[in-house]
Structure 1
Amino acid sequence: MTSNSYDVIVAGVGAMGSAACWHLAQRGLRVLGLERFDLGHGMGSSHGLTRIIRLAYFEGSKYVPIVQRAHELWQKTGEQAGLKLLHVTGSLDLAPAGSGQVESSLQSCLDHGLEHEQLDGQEIARRFPGFSLPSGHIGLWQPGGGFVASEKAIFAHVGLAQSRGAEIRTNEPMLDWSPTADGGVTVRTARGTYSAGRLVITSGGWITDAVPALARTVTTVRQAIGWFTTRKPELYREGVFPVFILTVEEGNFYGFPLYEHPGFKLGGPHFGREPMDPREDDRTPSPRQVELIRACLARYLPDAAGEPLTLKGCLYSVTPDEDFIIDSVPGVPQAVFASCCSGHGFKFASAIGEILADLSDSGRSRFDLAPFSLARFAA
């Protein structure tokens, strides 16, 4: 094997790609990870300190087995890296009774035997006085939910992968790739040409450059997150306040207890995302997005509705049905990809890295990936 030859090349070392590098490297494979920016950059969808992990999943019960495995792996990976990656705070889905979100989360709990509790408005107010919810809102409490320290998680995966011999090259994006006659791949960057038996593509908002078959399916959008001055931090500290998904007339919002930042973090509105070309350098949230977040805080979390301390934008790649795509490139089984996670993918990254390693090794996964096939979008 030459110096430019690898068992597997991973294109994109963010949430999914860093996990794939670790799972591949610990199997004794020679791994090259290529990242277009610095490690832990703010141009994609993994920055901003934290990402929610929920076991009760209103997006569909099909996700629950994978997120359960991800939960296990976040704990294990943190222990191996000597970092606390998984913070179990409990999670709340909050929505008007009958709107479907809480009911769907409840169904996923019933389908998979997840510990949960249904809460009415009075009980939500008693347990979590940081909320001021409209009459008629109900909640589903899931004690196993929490958040993952997202940037630390990427660093942990990369460090562990490097400890097993993986090479990680930053500021070196994959320019193009092609299959070879012997069933491998050739990858070209501005710095050189590399060969490998397999290719894993986890390039997020840039996925259509590497997998043109996705061009008519995937769109990229900007999502806003912000950290705001908190008048009563004792209401929102970790150990007292949960992670949550809140459905109100202004949209769907998500938030966290205080963590490594003096401000209260709120993101959204989920369906107020704005189209964005990933090649744009500016990730600043639009005034409209910031106004909607501040309106949500003022009405429903008034003691966290102070002035903004930090505002950021995230780049999401979105599918029409908002479900993931995990598959091989059409006609090229040695090239697999995972992306287009529509703004709810980070929590799964530890498990999806393992899935990609399994697909690269054997072409199979322990999970049913049929719901995440690209073929579902075939005309």
Structure 2
Amino acid sequence: MHTEFDVAVIGLGAMGSMALWQLAEDGLNVVGFEQFGIGHDRGAVGGETRLFRRMQTSRPEYTPVIELARTRWEMLQEFSDIQILTETGGLMIGRPEDSRMVAAKVAAEQAGVEVKHLSRSEMQDRFPEHRLDSDEIGMFDATQGFIRCEQAVLTAVTRANALGAQVHDYSKVSIHDASPEGVVLTDCENQWTAKKVIVTTGSWSGEHLNSELRNKSRAGRIKLTWFSPLPGHDFSAEKFPVFQRLVADGTLYGAPSLDGGGSVKIAPGGAPTEMTGPDDYFRGQTVEEIQYMERYVAHYFPGLNKSPIRAGAWADFYVDDSIPFLGFLPGSDNILLANGFAGFGFKMCPGIGRIAADMIQGKNDSKFEFMVPTRSIGKAR
């Protein structure tokens, strides 16, 4: 088979844009396909900002991915006039004996991050917009911040295009045929061939999986909400940096007002809401979902009006064991999966893009094998 491209990337959201950019930096002949516009808000990229956290509560195996991503964020910034990653510092708030607080401290130590422990009174003095319960403390990491997610995707794709990558927006392609000689991609009118393919289609990934992986994964809704400050309260980055707060039934996280006085983003972490598919889900929030956030905002953030001025939902892809798919599709040596990042992957996406670009070129690192799709997939621990 004559192949036009070394690598094709299907889906140019968080992971796909970063893989395309770094493949182009490597000098490969690459093409990227996006079924909507570049930087669209229909998938997991929407919502203006994502948190960059090195003090994280998930598996310690993610630490080297996050550290790799940090260097790649710095590299990507060279190609944008708009600040992509803004370091505000970041807080973790909870009870010191909570296992998630302990895990965050361990992750920070692994990454060589200096963490300051703040008592309840110290938190009140330094970050007065947070109300802490009597047995809670704060941990502060000066290297955390927020990422302008749509701008990050646009910058990566623009840079890839400048390096010679072909980019096709509004082009929904499918894998028509795959063999060791190459892969044939088609849409309703055109056909392309590539030696290898990286699938980064987020919540639309199900159609590219085999039945076993499809039965252990699903699309789900990420819920985001924004609130207005009350008069006399300061939710700028200096007084209200990015944060994660541990609560009894999950987590809350948020980011400061981007304009110094407007809306403040606070959202629930944890398990997604099930949905039938990424093309027909409810993009708003139910009264029950809004009232859930109102109860927490009224208790922990008294300087905000408890009712959100904006509430929406975005789609992402989830795997039963809460570990993404990053590796070759079982039975294939030229179709690579990078999906299932479950609403927590954006901070890592340039690192994931680098790892995927290496894998597709035959460069493997054992540190990242815990994400291979051929693993035994159980329920999340």
Interval of TM-score (by shorter of Structure 1 and Structure 2): over 0.9
Matched, 1:194 2:197: no
Stretches of structure 1 that go unaligned for 5 or more consecutive residues are none
* Per-residue deviation, 1:98: 1.6
Structure 1 partner of 2:93: 94
The secondary structure found in structure 1 opposite 2:189 is coil
* Per-residue deviation, 1:115: 1.3
Question: Does the CA contact (< 8 Å) of 2:63 and 2:107 recur in 1?
Answer: yes
* Per-residue deviation, 1:285: 2.1
Q: Deviations over 1:22-41 (max 9, x none)?
A: 00112222211111112222
Aligned AA (1:278): P
Question: Does the CA contact (< 8 Å) of 1:175 and 1:190 recur in 2?
Answer: no
Question: Does the CA contact (< 8 Å) of 2:63 and 2:110 recur in 1?
Answer: no
| 1:1-379 pair list within 5 angstroms | 5-182=4-181, 184-212=182-210, 213-232=212-231, 235-249=234-248, 251-260=250-259, 262-271=262-271, 273-276=272-275, 277-280=277-280, 282-365=282-365, 368-377=367-376
Q: Deviations over 1:302-321 (max 9, x none)?
A: 11235422222121211222
Cα distance change on mapping 1:98 and 1:10 into 2, 3 Å: same
Q: Distance in 2 between matches of 1:378 and 1:238?
A: 40
* Per-residue deviation, 1:327: 1.0
* Per-residue deviation, 1:293: 1.5
CA-based RMSD:
2.0
Q: Deviations over 1:55-101 (max 9, x none)?
A: 12211221111111111211221122333111111111112232211
> Between the two proteins, what is the percent identity of the paired residues?
26
Q: Distance in 1 between matches of 2:213 and 2:231?
A: 46
Aligned AA (1:25): A
Q: Distance in 1 between matches of 2:189 and 2:89?
A: 46
Aligned AA (2:140): W
Segment drifting more, 304-313 vs 56-65: 304-313
Q: Distance in 1 between matches of 2:305 and 2:250?
A: 17
Question: Does the CA contact (< 8 Å) of 1:230 and 1:306 recur in 2?
Answer: no
TM-score by length of 1: 0.93
Q: Distance in 2 between matches of 1:378 and 1:78?
A: 36
* Per-residue deviation, 1:378: 5.2
* Per-residue deviation, 1:375: 2.7
Aligned AA (2:198): V
Q: Deviations over 1:105-141 (max 9, x none)?
A: 0111223322112222222222100011212112221
* Per-residue deviation, 1:333: 1.4
Question: Does the CA contact (< 8 Å) of 1:53 and 1:145 recur in 2?
Answer: yes
Q: Deviations over 1:319-350 (max 9, x none)?
A: 22222221111111111111101211000011
Cα distance change on mapping 1:255 and 1:378 into 2, 3 Å: closer
TM-score by length of 2: 0.93
Aligned AA (1:345): G
